Amino acid sequence: MAIDLSNQPELAIPFESTRSLLAKWRERNADKTAIVDLDQDAKSITWDQIAEAADRVAYFLADRGIKPGDKVAVLSDEYVEKLIIWMGIWRYGAAICPLNVEMNEVHLVEILEGIAPALTIWHSDLDGPELTAGVSSPTIRFGSWTADQAGDAKSDELFAVLASYPDGAGADIASENAADDLSCIFCTSGTTSKPKSVVYNHMSYWLSGLSTLDMLGLTEDDRTLEYRSFGWNSAQILSLMPWLQTGLTMHMAKRFSRSRFFDWIRDHDITFSAGVPTVVNMLLNEPPPEAERNVPSLQRMTCSTAPLSPDQWAKFESMYGVTLLQLYGMSEAGWICGNRHYRRAMGTVGPPAKHQEFIIVDGADAPCQPGTEGEITVGGPQTCMGTISPEGDFDDLSEARIKTGDLGMMDADGFVTVTGRTKDLIIRGGVNIAPLEIDNVLLRNPKVREAAAVGVPDGIYGEEVIAYVAVKSGESLTEDDIKSWCADELPDFKAPKQVFFLDDLPKSDRGKVLRDELKDVWSAAQSA
């Protein structure tokens, strides 16, 4: 059966360098606010100011002997200053390595050693000398940017040095980033184990940004909110790239805050906000009073990292009057599928991104027919150049078809449903069971806040289904309650044979439930 994707709009926006884009927005909207830092008392910077600052960063890099194409590491939490430096690095044609400051310090040092940056720039809130002790290249700290900062050419603080330069410094530096140039090296999630690093060029980021614009319909008139780390690919391609490509106004915060979220929206007329399942569930399970959640400016939110059930999705939209767009991606490929503002289907992650070579394959790597489950694979120019292993080995993926490890199926209209992880499949008596199906049944119970099914060893069936549940505040449930609920919703072989209760399910820093940790919890209980 043929899949009809004809109603997706065509996008034909040629690649532009960061230098060109900053110059364009400076000329067109010099006094327009480019970024608002919500955690620094709504400190803001205009497009004129960020373009000038980026030129000065380029001047600094050239003056310090950094060459276009060199790698520059940035160690910082989320501040407007971090993005100023980021734009300067790209404007000059160097590559940025934004490292997660919440990472295990030992691993951070190891990663820095492996990346071998030509320069490391660290925020003054950190212990820079300690974190960069194993790095042989130069380092410099940075603190606060202000438009009227006093300059000091001999300072050990970056913005003081930048302020000492004459007017127009760096404007005549001709170097800039090209489409095929190295753009960014970032780390995958990893707080307890050393993560791998992912390497992208600028064209990949450009195409991801275009795919995001297709999904969200953003224009220069939008006012967006991002509260995730820009060390993550998702924040880079869902917020940073559309901001740079359209010249819109972006608002940033270090963390999501339930108590401040709606004030942010109201005070700044936010039209779009990023989202993750943890945030969506938090707003569902502990909603503010109805009057406080009235935010008419907010038109759309995304939700990525883990699938939402159709019930969660519909309930959120009904409660808040906001269009929620579920999407799906991975660190090595950007976002892969996404519901569009003009075309969506609840319970799915939407059609493939415009610039992904998306194929679902069976066990023999042959393409699956619509409606048939298989492993999701991706390729093409939107995917990464490769990855660097924890041991420092580079895996070239530029011509590869990447196996995601995720199971899914596509319907005849091109909408994709992610059904689980290949490694998370529960194989009971030779039958494959997708834990997400069980999760969704559990989450439909109005007293359940979080839930996850896992497979554990069984002497008869090989594996048996069990479930871990977190109950909403003020509610109570028993194991029998859950089993009875599942008996009405699931065939017997899929229903959990044991149910365990936790205050909170273990999750990654991106909100994914860690099923392996739940299996460890179960194993530990058996041996106790």
- Output the pLDDT for position 5: 42
Cα 243 from Cα 222, distance rounded (Å): 9
Q: How many CB atoms lie within 10 A of CB 146?
A: 12
- Output the pLDDT for position 192: 43
- Output the pLDDT for position 3: 39
Least confident range from 82-86, 89-93, 404-408: namely 404-408
Q: Greatest CA span in the chain, whole angstroms?
A: 77
- Output the pLDDT for position 202: 97
pLDDT tens-digit readout, 512-527 = 788 989 998 998 888 7
Cα 264 from Cα 496, distance rounded (Å): 41
Cα 107 from Cα 388, distance rounded (Å): 14
- Output the pLDDT for position 242: 97
Quick one: three-class SS letters along 171-198? Answer: CCCCCCCCCCCEEEEEECCCCCCCCCEE
- Output the pLDDT for position 1: 30
Strand partners for 387: 198, 395
Least confident range from 5-14, 93-102, 436-445: namely 5-14
User: pLDDT band at residue 11, thresholds of 50, 70 and 90?
Assistant: low
- Output the pLDDT for position 174: 96
Is the four-CA dihedral 152, 153, 159, 162 of positive or negative sign? positive
Contacts of 418 (CB under 8 A, 6+ apart): 307, 328, 349, 376, 406, 407, 408, 436
Which tokens hold the place of 18? 């960061």
| More confident call, 375 vs 312 | 375
As a whole number, mean pLDDT of residues 279-301 equals 88
Cα 372 from Cα 481, distance rounded (Å): 34
Contact 131, 117 (CB under 8 A): no
As a whole number, mean pLDDT of residues 479-487 equals 94
pLDDT tens-digit readout, 165-221 = 999 999 999 999 999 999 999 987 544 456 788 999 999 999 999 999 999 999 999
Contact 314, 345 (CB under 8 A): no
User: pLDDT band at residue 12, thresholds of 50, 70 and 90?
Assistant: low
pLDDT tops 60 at residue 278: yes
Residue 360 CB burial class (10 angstroms; 0-12, 13-18, ≥19): buried
- Give Cα 256 to chain centroid, integer Å: 14
Strand partners for 134: none
User: pLDDT band at residue 445, thresholds of 50, 70 and 90?
Assistant: very high
Average pLDDT, the chain: 90
Residues in the chain: 528
As a whole number, mean pLDDT of residues 240-257 equals 96
pLDDT tens-digit readout, 232-247 = 899 999 999 999 999 9
Strands 272-273 and 223-226: parallel
- Output the pLDDT for position 103: 61
Neighbouring C-alpha atoms within 13 Å toward the C-beta of 175 = 20
Contact 464, 432 (CB under 8 A): no
As a whole number, mean pLDDT of residues 391-414 equals 90
- Output the pLDDT for position 2: 36
Query: Which candidate, 37, 60, 17, 281, places its Cα nearest to that of 158?
Result: 60
Cα 521 from Cα 208, distance rounded (Å): 38
Domain annotation for the chain: domains and CATH numbers: 14-195 (3.40.50.12780), 203-385+398-420 (3.40.50.12780), 425-527 (3.30.300.30)
Cα 246 from Cα 26, distance rounded (Å): 12
pLDDT tops 50 at residue 6: no
Query: Which candidate, 113, 110, 103, places its Cα nearest to that of 71?
Result: 113
Which tokens hold the place of 311? 């019930």
Contact 239, 251 (CB under 8 A): no
- Output the pLDDT for position 8: 46
As a whole number, mean pLDDT of residues 63-70 equals 97
Least confident range from 53-67, 95-109, 192-206, 220-234: namely 95-109
pLDDT tops 80 at residue 54: yes
User: pLDDT band at residue 353, thresholds of 50, 70 and 90?
Assistant: very high
Contact 506, 513 (CB under 8 A): yes
User: pLDDT band at residue 370, thresholds of 50, 70 and 90?
Assistant: very high
Q: pLDDT over 70 for what percent of the chain?
A: 95
pLDDT tens-digit readout, 309-351 = 788 899 999 999 999 999 999 989 999 999 999 999 998 999 9
- Output the pLDDT for position 355: 87
Quick one: three-class SS letters along 183-243? Answer: EEEEECCCCCCCCCEEEEEHHHHHHHHHHHHHHHCCCCCCEEEECCCCCCHHHHHHHHHHH
Which tokens hold the place of 79? 């501040």
